[in-house]
Amino acid sequence: MTTDLGMPTTAPDGVGFLRGTESFPVAAHRALADTQLRRNLGHATRTIRGKRARVVAEVPDWEELRRAGEAIKADTMARLPELLEQLEEAVTARGGVVHWARDASEANAVVASLVRGTGADEVVKVKSIATQEIGLNEALAEQGIAATETDLAELIVQLSDDRPSHFLVPAIHRNRSEIRDIFLRALPGVDPDLTDEPRRLAMAARAHLRRKFLSARVGISGANFAAADTGTISVVESEGNGRMCLTLPDTLITVMGVEKVVPRWSDMEVFLQLLPRSSTAERMNPYTSTWSGVTPGDGPQAFHLVLLDNGRSNVLASPEGRAALHCIRCSACLNVCPVYERAGGHAYGSVYPGPIGAVLSPQLTGISGPDDPNASLPYASSLCGACFDACPVRIDIPNLLVQQRAASIASHRTPTAQDVAMRTVAAAMVSPARFRAAERVLGLGRFAGRSGRIRFLPYPGSQWTSARDLPAPPAETFRQWWKRTRGSQS
Amino acid sequence: MNAREEVLARLRAARDAGAPRDGVPPTPRDYRRTGTLAPGSAEVVDRLAETLTDYKATVHRVADEDEVSAAVAGVLEDAGVTTFVAPPGLPARWLGEVTARVRPDEPPLSVARLDEVDAVVTGAAVAIADTGTFVLDASAPDQGRRAISLVPDHHVCVVRAADVVSSVPEALARLDPSRPLTFVSGPSATSDIELDRVEGVHGPRRLDVVLVGPM
Ligand code: SF4
């Protein structure tokens, strides 16, 4: 693929985890046959949905906060390059070093060389979806650097050689007895009498990681927010593993997607109210750490901030699609999604699962053609609207899904600079009437009620909704479907 | 083009190509920026005691600063603490009746040493009643660098009524973002097993808050 210098660009293939190997209907079909998986997911998402509703109801100005969050994010996108330069200046002024990375490979190379520069061959990591996206652990391993995930669920995933399936709880697809079995198998020195009591499991992880924390020389984190005006980075967490990684090592490397910048420190007053209640369904998560640059005598004395594009410029170039960059990764849309609850996170292929993943991943990677697994993601929805209602920053995911369906049909090539230029023209042509017409042509509609029960889905979704009651229909392949529908469009 | 120039050039092109037709509306700030309970009032302290307790912190109420040292001594004794670390600027009067041995963090203790002490006693910069949170400012003399309130397994935090506000916006307005800040809401916890909350993972597993002020 050739790219035009300085033009918005999709994430390159071959590195990182933004794309699975098979289409959503195929992967979801298999997941649906796994009754244990469905039971685990159903139990976990039901628990969190009820709790979230209770803590949100406590906040009388929840809607006002959502609108503020939405507007702050839209404002951020409208001046993203300026804000990043401001952030760079603020971080640098406070003793941090800012690095820029065009894509996953470049970010991995920057981090690997920073780690090597310290002489360390081991790093401790706080959960960071951006570093999963770029395949950082794998890239470090190739350089002989061992990365230890310290978030409990990430550790479970790492020990079982698995992939994350949820933003907040990457091992949501595992229940307590499966976790015990993983620990018994893979945790060095674990008590053979370990039970599946969650408390005992958490203590086993504590014992395993404590020595690593206390001796770690390099910590690697993501960032939930970065205030451009003060250079203050925030990491929101629960267990204290984040505090350990952010405080005890000599060197801290933070990898952050460019969209995580916010204009002002004072904007945190909105996000620190929206995020915990939407995410863990708590009034506040146990720990939030904020820092700017380096503080003499406290915490890491070397701080590096790696700013990552990896397809984000391509998303930003779409007037409608850029709202997918507003996501604060709370996972509320996953927890309320009837499709996610049944298919599980792995079916989406990318590290960004669920409703938001279905609209974000295809925009980050672009769609290369009918065989591209990400082309099928926008169909991983019944368009029931629950995700929009739950989203703390009001991302209109159903609307984005419909647009991405159109895009997945229309753009069978990786977008070029020409496509980007065309988008501004195309955007002007969109009207409500056109939109409704497109919706009819595509055979869309709202197929599930607010009860969250899916009755049927348009093909290819029908291939798996039907699996619950009926044998899979001997239907056309996704490729055939693509040809047929695309044919009827042109 | 180097990476910096290229990423910025891409983002500038994208910013313009994807600009919303009607521009970006100003951010509405009609959410509540002051809470319902007055800062420092008996009501706001009551509410804080409730929300802290909801998240499994143990709350000890005392009427004024003269009573802090007895409360801290009681907590430490109860937990069988023999040594604890204190930030260099912790008010000496808070420890007057304490019998456990204090290790001042001056000069700074090594991580290994911090791992040996049983507890840490600190103050707090501000506390938020709506959410059951207190905030540690690492540059404040009575709170100390971040490691001392992280490595010991038991944290005793003294919160003064004057530093208690109702809402998150009021708290942020009182904080200095250039300093390392830690927002603490209950002892460490995880929801990673079946999305059920379990208290006590890597951060201090026991959290006691001594609330000083009107009752
Ligand atoms: S899209 Fe909204 S609801 Fe979904 S994870 Fe992102 S912020 Fe949360």
pLDDT digits (tens, 9 = 90+) for B70-99: 999 999 999 999 999 999 999 999 999 999
Helix, strand, coil content of chain A in percent (nearest 5) = 55, 10, 35
What is the share, in percent, of chain B residues with pLDDT greater than 90? 86
Contact list in A for residue B186 (CB cut-off 8 A) is 286
* B93 three-class SS: helix
Among B137, B197, B201, B207, the residue to mutate for chain A (most A Cβ within 10 A)? B201
CATH of B35-212, one of 1.10.3720.10, 3.40.50.10420, 3.40.50.720, 3.30.300.30: 3.40.50.10420
Q: Whose CA is nearest to atom 3 of ligand 1?
A: A391
Q: Which of A343-347, A458-462, B52-56, B199-203 has the lowest mean pLDDT?
A: A458-462
Residue contact B203–A176, C-beta within 8 A: no
Predicted pLDDT of residue A413: 47
Instruction: HSE, CB side, 13 Å, CA atoms: give it for residue A283.
Output: 22
A287-291 and A261-262 as β-strands: parallel, antiparallel, unpaired? unpaired
pLDDT tens by residue, B132-171: 999 999 999 999 999 999 999 999 999 999 999 999 999 9
**Looking at the partner chain, which of A6, A240, A314 has a beta carbon nearest the beta carbon of B188?**
A240
**Looking at the partner chain, which of B24, B55, B115 has a beta carbon nearest the beta carbon of A214?**
B115
pLDDT tens by residue, B103-133: 999 999 999 999 999 999 999 999 999 999 9
Residue contact B19–A319, C-beta within 8 A: yes
Instruction: HSE, CB side, 13 Å, CA atoms: give it for residue A54.
Output: 10
Predicted pLDDT of residue A258: 98
Question: Does B168 lie at the interface with A, CB-CB under 8 angstroms?
Answer: yes
Predicted pLDDT of residue A469: 29
Give distance in angstroms: CA of A273 to centre of ligand 1.
14
Q: Whose CA is nearest to atom 4 of ligand 1?
A: A333
Burial A385-399 (b: 16+ CB within 10 A, else e): bbbbebbbbbbbbbb
Mean pLDDT of chain B: 95
Q: Whose CA is nearest to atom 6 of ligand 1?
A: A327
Predicted pLDDT of residue A2: 47
Residue B66 Cα, gap to closest chain A Cα (Å): 30
Helix ranges (H only) for A58-197 are: 62-78, 80-93, 104-118, 129-133, 136-142, 152-159, 176-186
The strand pairing partners of B165, in sequence order, are: B128
* A348 three-class SS: helix
List of domains in chain A: 79-310 (3.40.50.10420), 429-486 (no CATH)
Calculate the CA A193 to chain-centre distance.
Answer: 36
Sheet hosting strand A261-262, strand order edge to edge = A261-262, A225-227, A232-237, A287-291, B181-184, B133-137, B126-128, B164-165
Instruction: State which H helix or E strand residue A233 sits in.
Output: strand A232-237
Residue contact A75–B27, C-beta within 8 A: yes
The number of the ligand 1 atom at minimal distance from the alpha carbon of A329 is 5
Question: Does B21 lie at the interface with A, CB-CB under 8 angstroms?
Answer: yes
Question: Does B132 lie at the interface with A, CB-CB under 8 angstroms?
Answer: yes
Predicted pLDDT of residue A411: 57
Residue A469, CA distances (Å) to A107, A156, A230, A455 in order: 46, 33, 56, 11
Q: Where in chain B is the domain with CATH 3.40.50.10420?
A: 35-212
Closest CA to B103 of B118, B89, B122, B84: B84
Joined tokens for residue B90 = 């912790």
pTM flag (> 0.95):
no
User: What is the interface size between A and B, counted as CB pairs within 8 Å?
Assistant: 293
**Looking at the partner chain, which of A60, A280, A420 has a beta carbon nearest the beta carbon of B17?**
A420
Residue B4 Cα, gap to closest chain A Cα (Å): 5
Instruction: State which H helix or E strand residue A399 sits in.
Output: helix A397-410
Which residue ranges in chain A fall short of pLDDT 70?
Answer: 1-3, 409-490
Instruction: State which H helix or E strand residue A33 sits in.
Output: none
